[in-house]
Structures are given as structure tokens and as C-alpha cells.
Amino acid sequence: MDPILDHIQRIYPLPAPVLQEFAALLTEEVHPKNHVLLREGHVEHKMYFIERGIARAFCYREEKEITFWFGAEGDVVLSYNSYVADKPGYETVELLEDAVVHSISHNDIRRLFDTHIELANWGRKLAEQELIKTESCFIGLQFQPAVERYKNLLESNPALIQRVQLGHIASYLGVSQVTLSRIRAELRF
């Protein structure tokens, strides 16, 4: 099975005809490293599925980039504010590697949700999964020391450390790059 369709099926299994209708609306896009998929302050009109590559979402605050999400193969990229409320997104999503993504317009996905209960359920499961990830990240930032957040990141996504600049990881963990270097040195002993 196509890797993107496999990832779609993992979110919520779809009957073959519905999956094929969904797949027919996906457009493959190839982008270079540093390409911006979503831009803060813009109403976005597409949802993306990452086939190959890695991305990060960040916001600008006090002239600093604050990373709050990483996505890799199989992940979905969209601005929830744009999709749900048709308002400008608060995030910028940048590709950290050359990437292959598959896009679908918000209008097409909404139409599929309206015409196929299975796809509406797929969308609900996606939203539930993303809510759990967001809640877990928020709780970690609020209640866990930086070393625990780093350990959790290593356990949940060990390849990330090899693929992403340490400055982005430090920002994601809410620490300086110096603090992250110290944490990494302590864990090596």
C-alpha cells in the first residue's frame, strides 16, 4: 500500500472506495529544505500529509522563534485555526529537510466529511489524537523538568535528535541551547 494511504488508514480505517476517493484528491508536492508550508498570520487552505521529510511549527515571540511541534513521515500538517475558524493561523510550518508531502484542500476534505460518515469519523479521530498530543506537550512543559522533557522526547522520537538542529530542540523544550547541551552531557554519564 502507498505509504500515505497506510498512514491515513492508521488514523481510522476507511473502506477501500472511500479511501480511493480521498486518495484521488491528494496532490503530491516536492519541496526543498526550508520551504514554508504554512505562514503565521495567513488563512491557509490546505492540509498536508508528510510522506518524506521533517517539519517544525513555530511562532515568533519577542523576535525569537519558539518551536512547539515537530512532524515527520506519516504526520498531518494543518492550521487548525484556518481550518476550523477560517482565521489566520498562529503558526509557521517550515520543512527541515527536502520533503515529499501530499496536500488536499480544506474545501475538498470538508466535502468528503459531509458525504462520507467514515471520513467524518476519520477527521474526528485525527482531532482526538492531535488533542492528546497537544495536552501531553502542555502538561510536560508545565510540570516536568527540562531533563524529563528531553528524556521523553528521546523515548518517543529518538531519530528526531539526529535530524533536527539542537537549537530547534532546545526551543521546543523551552530551554536555551546551553542548557540542552548540559542536559545531554549529564545523560551521557
Q: Are residues 11 and 84 in the same domain?
A: yes
Q: Please check whether residues 74 and 151 belong to one and the same domain.
A: no
16 in the same domain as 78: yes
| Pair 109, 63: CB distance under 8 Å | no
| Three-state DSSP state, 70 | strand
Domain count, the chain: 2
Sheet strand arrangement including 64-71: 36-38, 92-95, 55-61, 64-71
The CATH number of whichever domain residue 72 belongs to comes to 2.60.120.10
**Within a domain: residue 106?**
yes
- Does residue 109 sit in the same domain as residue 189? no
Record the pTM.
Answer: 0.91
31 and 68 fall within a common domain = yes
pLDDT, tens only, 121-175: 999 999 999 999 888 888 877 788 889 889 988 888 888 888 999 999 999 998 9
What is the side-by-side order of every strand in the sheet holding 27-31? 27-31, 99-105, 46-52, 76-77
Q: Given this model, what pLDDT does residue 113 score?
A: 96
Answer with the one of 108, 130, 152 that is the final residue of a domain: 130
138 part of a folded domain: no
Per the structure, the complete domain to which residue 178 belongs is given by 144-189
Q: Are residues 34 and 56 in the same domain?
A: yes
**Extended beta strands in the chain, E state:** 27-31, 36-38, 46-52, 55-61, 64-71, 76-77, 92-95, 99-105
